[in-house]
Amino acid sequence: MPPIVGAADLLEFATAATEAHGVPPADARLLADTLVTAELWGHPSHGMLRLPWYLDRLASGATTAVAAPQTVSDNGAVLVVDGHDGLGQVLTDRAVTWGVERARLHGISAVAVRNSGHFGTAAYFTRKAAEEGCVALLATNASPAMAPWGGTEKRVGTNPWSIAAPGGRHGTVVMDIANTAVARGKIYHAKERGEPIPKGWAADADGVPTTDPRRAVEGLILPMAGHKGYAISFMFDVLAGVLTGSAFGSAVVGPYQPTGRSGVGHLLICVDIASMADPDEFGARMEALVEETKSTPVAPGTAEVFVPGEPEVRTAERLRREGITVADDTWAALAHIADTTAVPLPLPVHSQELPS
């Protein structure tokens, strides 16, 4: 039976294991927090299964342990930074700080980060900007996962993006999606659990639809909404890769590969709400939108209508009480990390032993 572990214990383990690879304490805790937060949100595809990937890249030197971003150009509202192969989470967190500061000065800002790495869950960062009074859009590119529409070889990344905004008393409203039928990490998660994937998610290396996650990893992830998903993904590579001066297309290296410069690019756009509208009025209007949406009559079999970001908040509340279930393969990988770093593996606990 897969172990259940407390979120705080996973956080401490991931932090210490990352520090053991030369990452400064604050940056190590940030990386760990992005992984544990993804688990709490109900997205294990972006959680602890990725820790070995990041640590392997640190060990090989593909990722620089101590981030040292360098300004390429600074035009006030627009900042371009070279991440010099630092951790994507660390560079993107700093981009949020810069983006919010500049949006407050100029009303709107754009921060471009080149030569970064995979940053995990985009919503983790857009939520931070929303909590500081901005509407934020964050786009990134990724290693090839889908074929161009009508093609047979993967040349286009999932290229995820997120938009977040303050929702008044409803908290933060946030969208975070890949442009494929599913995020690639969900296929890796199914592979680790030994479970089939739904039809329509992927095709094998020959382009034949498959429900086998192992064949899907070697093959193609299908775009969402057919040609529309391909087109959106292509254009986000324009924004995150070409425009930022980073790698693009097939030149981007994924986090699951232990070697090779990642070349990932990010583009963060922040709009300062106070520069465009009265923040209180904006909050009231957002509340009205949320309430109108949630009051929609539900379809048969549906208990409640959710707005974007709401399911993750509900799931986090539950998993903080119940604990996080770690897939057996992921647990084995964490045990290997514990052996190689001398960081004690967290002890599994029964959900009733966790603090309420």
What is the per-residue pLDDT across 1-41, written as a single tens digit (0 to 9) for each?
899 999 999 999 999 999 999 999 999 999 999 999 999 99
pLDDT at 352: 46
State how far the Cα of 8 lies from the Cα of 28, in Å rounded to an integer. 14
Neighbours of 87 (CB within 10 A): 30
Biggest CA-to-CA distance, the chain: 55
pLDDT at 270: 99
Query: Residue 172: beta bridge partners?
Result: 166
The pLDDT value recorded for residue 353 is: 55
Q: Which residues sit opposite 138 in a β-bridge?
A: 162, 268
| Rounded-to-integer distance, Cα 54 and Cα 333, Å | 12
With the CA atoms of 334, 96, 173 and 309 taken in that order, what torsion angle do they form, in degrees rounded to the nearest 10?
-10
The H-or-E segment that residue 314 falls in is: helix 310-322
For residue 89, give the nearest of 125, 44, 64, 115 by alpha carbon: 125
Q: Which pLDDT belongs to residue 355?
A: 56
CB atoms within 10 A of CB 6: 22
Of 261, 233, 238, the closest CA to residue 248 belongs to: 238
Q: Rounded distance, CA 77 to CA 274, Å?
A: 16
Q: Which residues of 47-63 are buried (b: 16+ CB within 10 A; e: fewer)?
A: bbbbbbbbbbbbeeebb
- Does residue 37 contact residue 180 with C-beta atoms inside 8 Å? no
Q: Which segments in the chain show pLDDT lower than 50? A: 351-352
- For 109, phi then psi, to 5°, come to -140, 155
pTM for this prediction: 0.93
**Sign of the torsion angle spanned by Cα atoms 97, 99, 104, 105:** positive
> What is the distance of C-alpha 303 from the center of its chain?
28
- DSSP, collapsed to helix, strand or coil, labels residue 229 as helix
